Chain A
């Protein structure tokens, strides 16, 4: 039982990092990504591959995961972030589907079987294989991510991002380099998702394309929207709630997904701005002209 609770807590922690990173794109960058799990997967595979083939110690593997995922984010972001919202949604959706197929078809990623035997992190001679220790590592990084996001959104750069989110043209007139900010935040979010991927890979020790497909992207997105776009605490709440909800629905044996879908729709009708979203934010979008 304790082992199971620890397992859920570790996964929830990984989802918190993912949700925070996506919230940077959506809630602060004003962009949409429907393929965030691709960066999560890229990080997981990158970290696993450098550990398996080059025997990188975990911190270096995690760093490689962040660099590779960040580079992919930069590569995708540079040409596409000038597209408007809806098109960006499709491009990121397509990127997610394509990356899923790449994981499935490449030889180096092990195809549908994935990669096995990914080593547990070893820090200063202590193996983090025991879940309690791994939990410590995950939540240490959750704390770091929270601190980073908090510092970022309350800084000069954070205010610039909020300005872009609320009204891009005005922000540009005020002298904010909007394309640079959008690409930067997209890259940072991709790198953080890569970190989450590394944490996942070295915890589960076995990865295959199934974990990084469309449903994962959608799950992360649902966590952001349910928690409240642009709310940091909201992201934490959304991530914890939606990663625990399936467990709480176990009593509805066989009807889990049915109830899950219904709850998702019901919660949004009840609170369209998300559980902890600010009403102000959604009001702004009401008055904002669309198309």
Chain B
């Protein structure tokens, strides 16, 4: 029972972590909380689900196209709703993001209707015994894919030129510009990567909960945002750890404390952690 809850928590937590990576990277480079991240997550899921429903593409192509659609939406969003507001008070882009999120949610509502769509293809997942613990292959696949994406991101940031340029921009945008880095392009790239990860998270959750609907991004978005702050905003390992901690805490809290307060547990932990360690669990920016 305990291990089952732990696994459930790790699975949702790894998805929160993927979204949190988008928040933390964007925050690291622009100091901006992108409240529309949940809608990007929703967009990824919808594109994949709609493509699969046509029956013309296979699962992996749909997954990649869903991620790409989310990534392009993220880049477009930055161009339209955030770039003109660079330099304004930080709350102004926040409200702009909220406006964009209202817009995208209602667009999805108009295009796809309010009904919950089940995932169009069936997977045959089993429960396997892993050293005496029951592990559903679905959870295993989600955890594995999420950790894989995180690993790729860490490698990208640490060992590629573009990754290092993003870190440079996060550390000091003006100095990075002086060093010949095209800051605007790095910002677009950050939005591209962060949004692609959120899109992937959306598709995985659409499979896990077998549902896609216009408001699906709201709560995961808020929780991922908290996860990013919990881990120390701007820190990539922090976002991963923060997401996993939140997922596990939520799952255990719902099982052993009260399921009515499930969605509040993440925030209660967050408030406690911030009071004790105001800089987040892993302090840092942009590494």
By a beta-carbon cutoff of 8 Å, the part of chain A in contact with chain B is 26, 32, 79-80, 82-87, 89-91, 93-95, 97-98, 101-102, 104-105, 214, 218, 221-222, 225-226, 229, 254-258, 260-265, 268-269, 272-274, 281-282, 285-286, 290-291
Q: Fill in one digit per residue for B241-270: 1 if any A CB lies within 8 Å of its CB, else 0.
A: 000000000000000001011011011101
By a beta-carbon cutoff of 8 Å, the part of chain B in contact with chain A is 27, 31, 33, 80-81, 84-85, 87-92, 94-96, 98-107, 109-110, 222, 225-226, 229, 233, 258, 260-261, 263-264, 266-268, 270-271, 274-275, 278, 285
Tell me if B81 and A265 are in contact (CB < 8 A): yes
Tell me if B106 and A258 are in contact (CB < 8 A): yes
Chain B residues whose C-beta falls within 8 Å of the C-beta of A87 in the assembled complex: 229, 274, 278
Tell me if B92 and A268 are in contact (CB < 8 A): yes
- What are 18 contact pairs spanning A and B, CB under 8 A? A80-B275, A86-B33, A86-B229, A87-B278, A94-B268, A95-B267, A98-B261, A222-B98, A258-B103, A260-B106, A261-B102, A261-B104, A261-B105, A263-B99, A268-B92, A269-B96, A272-B88, A273-B89
Tell me if A262 and B103 are in contact (CB < 8 A): yes
Tell me if A101 and B92 are in contact (CB < 8 A): no
A257 to B87, CA, bound (A): 28
Give the total number of A-B pairs whose CB atoms are below 8 A apart. 143
Chain B residues whose C-beta falls within 8 Å of the C-beta of A281 in the assembled complex: 89
A93 to B23, CA, bound (A): 16
Interface of A is mostly: helix
Tell me if B103 and A261 are in contact (CB < 8 A): yes
Chain A residues whose C-beta falls within 8 Å of the C-beta of B100 in the assembled complex: 261, 265
Tell me if A93 and B88 are in contact (CB < 8 A): no
A104 to B81, CA, bound (A): 34
Closest to B35 in A: A218
Interface of B is mostly: helix
Tell me which of B91, B101, B222 contacts A261 (CB under 8 A).
B101
Tell me if B106 and A285 are in contact (CB < 8 A): no
Tell me if A98 and B264 are in contact (CB < 8 A): yes
Tell me if A221 and B95 are in contact (CB < 8 A): yes
Chain B residues whose C-beta falls within 8 Å of the C-beta of A79 in the assembled complex: 275
Closest to A101 in B: B264
Chain A residues whose C-beta falls within 8 Å of the C-beta of B233 in the assembled complex: 86
